Chains A and B, each alone.
Chain A
Amino acid sequence: MSYAVSMTVNGKSVSGDVEGRTLLVQFLREHLRMTGTHVGCDTSQCGACVVHVNGTSLKSCTMLAVQAEGADVTTIEGLANGDELHPMQAAFREHHGLQCGFCTPGMVMSAIDLVNENPDPSETEIREWLEGNLCRCTGYHNIVKSIEAGAKAMRGG
């Protein structure tokens, strides 16, 4: 069965025809050809697929596209303002918070949501928040530093 779905992605109205079972991440990657959001596992644990829906981070691999009908979706592609990086993106670059880059889109989206909920997170709070974001390259050390710096920048510091 085909369903017409429409939503806003990174400020732009988009629509498409999907099946009931089409995942939000599939809609983004395959229908909209926005491949910044990644698929890293099949048990909803790795977090590579994290996007924001109506201002909250969630796993786009565990949500149906139809469930995002009318929603306001932000993906990694929607963060920068032209060439100007979002403070969290800039912080990840400054502090070498990425290596292969595969977990990075989900990691950055998750980090921004953390700071939205908790503007000045401690190292422990950051490490606990990242329970749903796996990284195999960095050992998380620089990701934590990046998020601390990104939080500070988002606070205006």
Chain B
Amino acid sequence: MTATGIGAAVKRVEDFRFLTGRGNYTDDINRPGQSYAWILRSPHAHAQIKKLDTSKAAAAPGVIAVFTGKDLEADGIGGLPCGWQVNNKDESPMAEPAHPALVTDKVRHVGDQVAVVIAESKDEARVAAELITVDYAPLPAVLDMNAAIGGGALVHDDAPDNTCYDWHIGDAAAVDDAFKKAAHVTQIDIVNNRLVPNAMEPRAAIGDFDSATGDYTLFTTSQNPHVIRLLMGAFVLNIPEHKLRVIAPDVGGGFGSKIYHYAEEAIVTWAAGKLRRPVKWTAERSESFITDCHGRDHATSAELALDKDGKFLALRVATKANMGAYLSTFAPCVPTYLYATLLAGVYTTPQIYCEVRAVFTNTVPVDAYRGAGRPEASYLLERLVDRAARETGLSQVEIRERNFIAADAFPYQTPVALAYDSGDYGATLEQALTAIGHDKFEARKKKSAKAGKRRGIGFSTYIEACGIAPSAVVGSLGARAGLFESAEVRVHPTGSVTVFTGSHSHGQGHETTFAQLISDTLGVEFENIDIVHGDTGRIAYGMGTYGSRSLAVGGEAIMRATNRIVDKARKIAAHMLEASEEDIEFKDGTFTVSGTDKALSFGEVALSAYVPHNFPHETLEPGLDETAFYDPANFTFPGGCHICEVEIDPDTGEIKIADFVAVDDVGRVVNPMIVEGQVHGGVAQGIGQALLEGCVYDDSGQLVTGSYMDYTMPRADNLPSFKVGNHATLCAHNSLGVKGCGEVGAIGSPPAVINAIVDALWDDGVHDISMPATPEKIWQAIQAGQRAAAAE
């Protein structure tokens, strides 16, 4: 390993600009002559629009134009498309109601887009928007998923029972049979609480139109500019791709919320063309709360069948998943192909059946948020396993070890489609037990008890599926796009290298880690490597960054392109060194003829490729620039063990995380500093979900938790320092052996926290608690437990 190669904790290249205030975030960008957009949003969760009068707004000071859904319709502008079709149990397609960028007749959630005012300043646009008169006829708000499917108001007339789809996976009959043989059945009802992703940078978009060339440009806070170009260009605005450039510059966090094609992107781009002026929109945080896609929001009932030795025989799951008011870009796949296919977990459960009903409600649309379906699966499994242990008398460690897929059982085909390639769940558990000092837990518990506190320890042995994804596989499951990645490695005449990657970095540090791949393989000086991302005008194609795919898919594309560079360079070197290709060795940036001291540097070969005087023209073209498109053979399967220790003050329900250990298997580690940082961030979000965060809607469909005054964001004083370790088993199907690490923190942690609380309070009669486990909830649970004990 070199100082800047694979495995090194290289400090980040991107830091200089971020630390000195020279980042280039979308709101930092100003285009000459730009105008400002303000979106008028629905104050109602569900209402008919009887009348919409924009005339006073259009006449207000500074206003350039006011547009409504009717204007978009008149221009043939399409609705926002959904990128994944899930079918019902009977193979019929899901309900796919229209998703307009600006509504025409009905609003379906507080925050829904009603009109846009474009003015010379943001304030003039906002003031003018207040002059738009809308005559709403409120309709009953559909908020609860059970009520939604039970008959009553419809969010969409073309989605009966407010159902998007009723899907299943697995063998129901085989599962029923297995349950008949069960020695014990553990049942659980759980909710995976709705969250607001809250990246610190609010969304923003600037549309621009060059009337000289007819080219559109969109600057947007996106995790995947090519996807936006495809969806918006082809399906919404009818702009051919070669006339549309989408640039996602520095983006301040995404966590999934910036994957989707949002209405504002289409509105500013279209308006820029209409007005022949740049149009800029930046969200207020309160707008972000009611327009950025929310995450999670599952309600599940599940049963686990066990034999007399505690071996899992079968799992039966029924889930309702909230889609919100409209289908967001990837929403349908999150509670199906990213959730139910993970229900084997790290266990050998032979029979699994899962039904999922996706439900429309008058709430903000729900889509992928860090983990996307896998946190929901892990939470269900690890809560169920924890309870099964308690019911059968096995220890938490024992029940898991008895059911682990063995380290030598790979490749392992699960009963829910996925085939895992590698893993060692026993090893990560062992390492985590040591790290948390499991053997001394009882002593710590006694000490806490002496101080009047309850102490508990909770486990989570999880797996996830990422490195998204093999295109043919996801295509067969309803994906409407491929999920490959591209990389162009361009070597310049003087030996420096630019990599054009379809991945996007919004905090992950790709400018550093991808450069490490090049440094390691080509031996080029780190300072001479440049990673370019986020611009459809410069990069051939890409599906962007989410689903922990950048290294596993984007990085592999880079490796393939780089290996082609090495192959070609080797041929050039052979010619220049007058040796046969087989005798050329390449190491540490130097080509040598084996057994001699004849050598050429990579830089010399690069120069020769561009000044091809001594060059094998008969067999080779000049230049040194290779592109690779890589479609992965499988998902990747990081896994691991998270253990949480909590201390609770029963007087108030206050809870402190005394210790948190994460031991993750993310395959080969390219930059351990980056990997740890990703795990820290994911764990913080997972702890946030478990203890602090959660959307609350009131009966009229207003988002009560609509600002940081009421939505509890994890702060530094809510969290401990974490103990992070790893144990690598290599991915079997990419050359780097990497699995991806961006989401594991958020996937493994919530059940560890909740299981720890249940452990701490079990003897107080608290056998279940929901997320977020706030102090009041904990206190109320203890009171209820004490009352129940008193009643006996």
Contacts and interface: CB of A to CB of B under 8 A. Distances in A.
- Contact between chain A and chain B defined by CB under 8 Å: yes
A39 B431 CA distance: 42
B683 A42 contact: no
B21 A35 contact: yes
A75 B21 contact: yes
Given A39-B27, A40-B201, A100-B252, A144 B716 contact: yes
A87 to B, nearest CB: 12
A131 B717 contact: yes
Contacts of A48: 200
- Most B CB atoms within 10 A — which of A33, A40, A134? A40
Given A40-B200, A139-B683, A98 B19 contact: yes
Contacts of A43: 285, 707-709
A45 to B, nearest CB: 4
A48 B253 CA distance: 13
A38 B25 CA distance: 9
Contact of A96 (B12, B28, B202): B12
Contact of B200 (A33, A46, A108, A128): A46
A121 to B, nearest CB: 12
Nearest to A129: B716
B680 A138 contact: yes
B721 A141 contact: yes
A144 B721 contact: yes
Contacts of A102: 23, 25, 199-201, 252-253
B715 interface: yes
Interface string B423-442: 00000000000000000000
B255 interface: yes
Interface string B197-215: 1111110000000000000
Contacts of B197: 136
B200 A142 contact: no
A92 B19 contact: yes
A22 to B, nearest CB: 10
A92 B22 contact: no
B144 interface: no
A138 B681 contact: yes
A46 B708 contact: yes
Interface residues of B, number: 56
A140 to B, nearest CB: 4
Interface of A is mostly: loop
Contacts of A144: 716, 721
B677 A138 contact: yes
Contacts of B181: none
Nearest to B678: A99
Contacts of A77: 20-22
Contacts of A137: 200, 253, 507, 677, 681
B506 A139 contact: no
B251 interface: yes
Given A43-B708, A94-B11, A136-B255, A101 B717 contact: no
Using C-beta atoms within 8 Å of the partner chain, give the interface range for chain A: 35 or more
Contact of B716 (A37, A45, A101, A133): A133
A101 B252 contact: yes
Interface string A25-48: 000010001111111111101101
A99 B21 contact: no
A123 B721 contact: yes
B285 A40 contact: yes
Contacts of A39: 27, 202
Interface of B is mostly: loop
A62 B332 CA distance: 41
Contact of B21 (A45, A76, A130, A143): A76
B673 interface: yes
Given A100-B251, A100-B506, A130 B286 contact: no
Contacts of B508: 99
Contacts of A34: 21
A58 interface: no
A126 B12 CA distance: 24
A140 B18 contact: no
- Most B CB atoms within 10 A — which of A41, A42, A99, A100? A100
Contacts of B680: 138-142
B200 A103 contact: yes
Contacts of A138: 677, 680-681, 684
A140 B286 CA distance: 24
Given A38-B25, A100-B251, A137-B507, A89 B200 contact: no
Given A101-B507, A134-B708, A37 B201 contact: no
B73 interface: no
B162 interface: no
B15 A143 contact: no
- Most B CB atoms within 10 A — which of A38, A127, A139? A139
B38 to A, nearest CB: 14
B284 interface: yes
Contact of B677 (A108, A131, A142): A142
A99 B509 contact: yes
- Most A CB atoms within 10 A — which of B19, B255, B507, B722? B19
A35 B721 contact: no
B140 to A, nearest CB: 31
A14 B412 CA distance: 66
Interface string B409-423: 000000000000000
Nearest to A36: B21
B722 A139 contact: yes
Nearest to B677: A96
A80 interface: yes
Contacts of B677: 96, 99, 137-138, 142
Nearest to B687: A139
Contact of B18 (A40, A98, A139): A98
B28 A101 contact: no
B20 A36 contact: yes
B15 A136 contact: no
B674 interface: yes
Given A100-B252, A100-B506, A136 B681 contact: yes
Interface in B713-771: 713-717, 719, 721-722, 745
Nearest to B202: A40
A98 B674 CA distance: 10
Interface string A93-124: 11010111111110010000000000000011
A79 interface: yes
A96 B673 contact: yes
Contacts of A42: 284-286, 707
B685 interface: yes
Nearest to A99: B507
Interface string B241-263: 00000000011110100000000
B401 interface: no
A99 B510 CA distance: 11
8 contacts: A42-B285, A75-B21, A76-B20, A96-B12, A134-B713, A140-B680, A140-B684, A140-B719
Interface of A: 29, 33-43, 45-46, 48, 75-77, 79-80, 85, 89, 92-94, 96, 98-105, 108, 123-124, 126-128, 130-131, 133-144
Interface of B: 11-12, 14-23, 25, 27-28, 30, 197-202, 250-253, 255, 284-286, 506-509, 673-674, 676-677, 680-685, 707-709, 713-717, 719, 721-722, 745
7 closest residue pairs by CB, A with B: A36-B21, A102-B252, A101-B18, A139-B684, A100-B507, A99-B507, A139-B680
Given A140-B684, A140-B719, 12 more contacts: A42-B286, A43-B708, A45-B709, A76-B19, A100-B507, A124-B717, A127-B715, A133-B716, A136-B198, A136-B200, A140-B680, A141-B721
